[in-house]
Amino acid sequence: MAEAQLQFVWSEFDALSLRDLYAILKLRVDTFIVEQNCPYPELDGKDLHAQHLHVLDDGDLAAYLRVLAPAGDGLPRISRVIVAPGHRGRKLGEKIMLEAIAHCRERFPGLDIELCAQSHLRTFYGSVGFTPISDEIIKDGIPHIDMRLTA
């Protein structure tokens, strides 16, 4: 799978095609609920107002995340970061995070960026500049930690 085939696509919710939306939701459910054996409300109402980044590899959904605009704490948040099983091991997680960080820096200049990471991914998010800002918490039965990338 050549990297030249990768296409990074940002979309508002209403601009997602039905096929793209289906592929995104299927990947999220297959990974966060089925693969991780964690029943929780995946459809949380936040997708309607998020910026969605999906990475296509020759038309196949390879990775996805969403960016939530500043809300209560005034900071943008990156969430639902995922790489499809058949595309893991290619550093797509790093590439999609760097794209999301650049997007946040452009859209929300001067603001820190937050995310809530599964604890076992702390080192990964640290490698792109995020640092822990909370103790470990159990969320939907899985250990998580809040992290922040300073402006």
Of 117, 114, 115, the C-alpha closest to 143 is: 117
Q: Domain 3-149: which topology?
A: Aminopeptidase (3.40.630)
Which H/E stretch holds residue 80? strand 77-83
Residue 69: predicted pLDDT = 96
Pairing type for strands 137-139 and 113-118 reads unpaired
Mean pLDDT of 23-51: 93
**pLDDT tens digits, 16-35:** 999 999 999 999 999 999 99
Sequence spans of domains, the chain: 3-149
